[in-house]
């Protein structure tokens, strides 16, 4: 236990001093393993873990889903989503902020990345809201919170990583994220309504858009409907696996991107390079976390924690809430992928020992990680918005995002207390799945 605690402390110290997360985790994991077992076992461990953690067939979905999201984003579909959402709900006070959240949900459904969703929609939505007189606090917060939907509404890169790490059915995880994702959208809309009710000056009324214009805007979204329908419909219908779906989705996105007149071959090349860089970074983090995980396993911390849990006298729900608090605290210093890869090997055996469903726990983790993306001081999406709109002060963004954080806290408690919210749909669609 002491060795594991020291390892975490050293790793966090490296991260706080801006050492790349993959390097920090890998270095501490290898160094700790050397101290516990010696050089020869440590070197053998590195060779084995490198092969087992990166050369995994199911991880093919990561670069393919990243490519799918980048291609669709590069083709400008985010603007179409925003205009369509604006046409239907943008006229209400605060409606453009609500439309931004809905558009983020739609974009997240084909992107799978919260950072990409926040960055892309921030460039589209914030300037539009500014022109209509929206306060920066509301417009920035709506994009930051809406961006978190990218890792909850399927297909989600984080869910794929969790599924691979825990051998959980990825299709069931995707299905389990739909209802909580819809709840998130409605919760964020309520946060906008609260902000507007509290101070009507932060959002003016919008202009009415004629019916024929709204129909035309909806028709422009057919690529999103086709790509999402083929990918998710194929998985849920049993026509192909999630791995095959990622390839089909990437291919469909490539066809759409190449047929889009505003996207040229040099743009596609840039998208491919960006996808390669993002994928390499993700695999590096996966490898670093795997090395650290082997060190943690060697310390025997799992058995120690399980004994503490069994002897604590806490009810199972109390243990879950304690884990949620720990995740929220970790969200202050770690980004989502690292947090999941670092903690799941420790917490997952406890969850299974308590008899909880791995699919439900995966969704709960994703929802808590969502909160970490927008709560200070590190909230990644806050810094994404700051980089997109550098003239908006950080404290302005933080003030605007507080109602969204409150909504997320309520949603976390509901999903933790009522597992059926997450499990109803996957059990309906995958009755024969393990």
What pLDDT does residue 125 have?
Answer: 79
Name the nearest CA neighbour of 66 among 321, 394, 369, 337. 337
pLDDT higher at 40 or 259: 40
Q: And the tokens for 382? A: 């806050």
pLDDT digits (tens, 9 = 90+) for 20-51: 878 888 898 899 888 888 888 888 988 888 88
Nearest CA among 280, 383, 282, 284 for reference residue 24: 284
285-324 confidence digits (pLDDT tens)? 778 878 887 887 787 766 666 676 666 677 888 888 888 8
Dihedral sign computed on CA atoms, order 173, 176, 178, 182: negative
Distance CA 187, CA 97 (A): 13
pLDDT given at position 221: 65
Pick from 395, 378, 384, 288: which is nearest to 329 by CA?
378
Letter string b/e over residues 338-372, b meaning 16 or more CB atoms within 10 A of that residue's CB: bbbbbbbbbbbebbeebebbbbbbbbbbbbbbbbb
Which of 60-64, 186-190, 250-254, 306-310 bottoms out in mean pLDDT, i.e. has the lowest? 306-310
Supply the pLDDT for residue 282.
76
Q: What are 195-225's pLDDT values in tens digits?
A: 888 888 887 766 665 655 556 666 666 776 7
pLDDT confidence of residue 218:
64
- Check whether 124 has a pLDDT greater than 70: yes
Predicted pLDDT at 81 = 66
Q: What is the reported pTM?
A: 0.77
Cβ–Cβ under 8 Å, residues 94 and 189: no
| Confidence band of 76 (pLDDT split at 50, 70, 90) | low
What's the pLDDT tens digit per position in 354-397?
A: 889 999 999 998 898 888 888 876 677 887 888 778 888 888 88
Whole-number average pLDDT of the chain: 80
Taking a C-beta distance cutoff of 8 angstroms, is the pair 108, 91 a contact?
no
């Amino acid at each position: 236990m002491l060795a594991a605690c020291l390892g975490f402390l050293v790793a966090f110290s490296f991260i706080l001093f801006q050492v790349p997360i993959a390097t920090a985790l890998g270095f501490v994991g290898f160094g700790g393993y050397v101290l516990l077992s010696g050089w020869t076992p440590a070197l053998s461990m590195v060779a084995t873990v490198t092969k087992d953690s990166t050369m995994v067939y199911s991880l093919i979905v990561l670069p393919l889903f990243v490519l799918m999201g980048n291609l669709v984003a590069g083709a400008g579909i985010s603007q179409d989503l925003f205009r369509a959402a604006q046409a239907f709900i943008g006229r209400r006070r605060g409606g453009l902020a609500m439309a931004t959240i809905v558009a983020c949900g739609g974009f997240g459904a084909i992107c799978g990345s919260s950072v990409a969703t926040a960055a892309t929609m921030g460039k589209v939505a914030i300037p539009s809201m500014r022109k209509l007189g929206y306060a920066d606090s509301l417009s920035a917060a709506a994009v930051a919170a809406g961006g978190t939907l990218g890792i909850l509404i399927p297909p989600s890169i984080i869910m794929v990583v969790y599924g691979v790490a825990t051998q959980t059915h990825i299709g069931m995880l995707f299905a389990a994220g739909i209802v909580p994702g819809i709840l998130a959208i409605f919760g964020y809309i309520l946060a906008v309504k609260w902000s507007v009710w509290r101070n009507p000056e932060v959002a003016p009324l919008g202009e009415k858009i004629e019916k024929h214009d709204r129909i035309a805007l909806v028709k422009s979204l057919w690529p999103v409907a086709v790509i999402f329908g083929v990918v998710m419909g194929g998985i849920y219908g049993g026509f192909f696996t999630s791995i095959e779906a990622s390839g089909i989705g990437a291919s469909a996105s490539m066809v759409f991107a190449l047929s889009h007149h505003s996207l040229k071959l040099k743009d596609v090349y840039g998208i491919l390079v960006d996808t390669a860089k993002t994928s390499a970074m993700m695999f590096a983090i996966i490898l670093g976390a795997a090395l650290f995980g082997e060190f943690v396993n060697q310390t025997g911390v799992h058995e120690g924690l399980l004994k503490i849990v069994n002897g604590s006298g806490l009810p199972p729900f109390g243990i879950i809430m304690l884990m949620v608090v720990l995740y929220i605290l970790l969200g202050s210093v770690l980004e989502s992928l690292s947090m999941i890869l670092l903690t799941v090997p420790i917490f997952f055996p406890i969850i299974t020992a308590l008899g909880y469903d791995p699919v439900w726990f995966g969704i709960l983790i994703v929802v808590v990680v969502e909160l970490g993306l927008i709560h200070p001081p590190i909230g990644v999406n806050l810094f994404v918005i700051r980089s997109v709109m550098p003239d908006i002060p950080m404290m302005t963004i933080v003030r605007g995002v507080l109602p969204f954080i409150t909504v997320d806290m309520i949603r976390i408690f509901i999903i933790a207390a009522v597992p059926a919210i997450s499990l109803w749909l996957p059990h309906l669609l995958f009755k024969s799945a393990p």
